Amino acid sequence: MREIQVSTVTDTVARLCVQACTVLPEDVKTRIYDSRKTEPWSTAQDILDVIIENFETNGPIPLCQDTGMACVFLELGQEVHITGGSLYDAVNVGVAKGYTDGLLRKSVVGDPLRRVNTNDNTPAMIYTDIVPGDRLTITVAPKGFGSENMSRIAMLKPADGIDGIKKFVLETVENAGPNACPPLTVGVGIGGTFDKAALLAKKALIRDMDAHHPDPFYAQLETELLDNINRLGIGPQGLGGKTTALWLSIETMATHIAGLPCAVNINCHSTRHAKEVL
């Protein structure tokens, strides 16, 4: 049994919060560069140039004024023993430290209706998977709500099939229009239950771009959906062009014979995430 101190978890989460909010992952940068090369619309070209200038700016400057709600994904090896306190408490202390020391905007209210700011961006949204091995993988993915608010879930009927999935995904992106700050990254979750489909869609957003679904059937569906989204003409910031989305990822799992849950989780072009393995 390998031991990991909660202080190590806290320090790692704090560092990842700042990194995720200020440094765009290389795979996302590559997709934006590639989109700029193939974008024919002059206004869209100008917007993509501004986006590139923004993430190429030197210094620990937030990529967006909305530094998001901290979504923290934990892959906890079953041979790991967390010592010195609670794992979830350690994560939340790390989020508070990262957002406070990193001078990141704190956007979390403690109650959804009374809406008093917690002043440290906690609590984090924590998702935990128990996996084989003696490592703890921590991924911090700040989620801004301009894009989160445009996400949707549908409990489709099995008879809706693949055409129902396609229609729902395209309608969700089209309804989002400029509100989610396109170009977008689109995560799609298919299967499971009402809640699992939403989690699948969110996990799809942190998968490396260009890493297609391992099943060729769904990999082809990813490509087709992305192409169809980019034919909508919404474009960067909703001002027209072919670059409405940078990438689309699908995650799937088993479901009930009577159901076809489908969730679409949308991210803006600033698809922020940072990962470390302890």
How would you write the pLDDT of the chain (278 residues) with one tens digit per residue? 999 999 999 999 999 999 999 999 999 999 999 999 999 999 999 999 999 999 998 778 899 999 999 999 999 999 999 999 999 999 999 999 999 999 999 999 999 999 999 999 999 999 999 999 999 999 999 999 999 999 999 999 999 999 999 999 999 999 999 999 999 999 999 999 999 999 999 999 999 998 999 999 999 999 999 999 999 999 999 999 999 999 999 999 999 999 999 999 999 988 999 999 99
Contact between residue 139 and residue 204 where contact means Cβ atoms under 8 Å apart: no
What pLDDT is stored for residue 57 in this prediction? 86
What pLDDT is stored for residue 60 in this prediction? 80
Report the chain's terminal Cα–Cα distance, integer Å: 14
Rounded-to-integer distance, Cα 80 and Cα 49, Å: 45
Rounded-to-integer distance, Cα 111 and Cα 44, Å: 39
Task: Report the predicted TM-score, pTM, of the whole model to 2 decimal places.
Answer: 0.95
Helix/strand/coil for 62: coil
What pLDDT is stored for residue 35 in this prediction? 96
Rounded-to-integer distance, Cα 125 and Cα 203, Å: 13
Q: What are the DSSP calls for 180-197, one per residue? A: T-SSEEEEEEEEE-HHHH
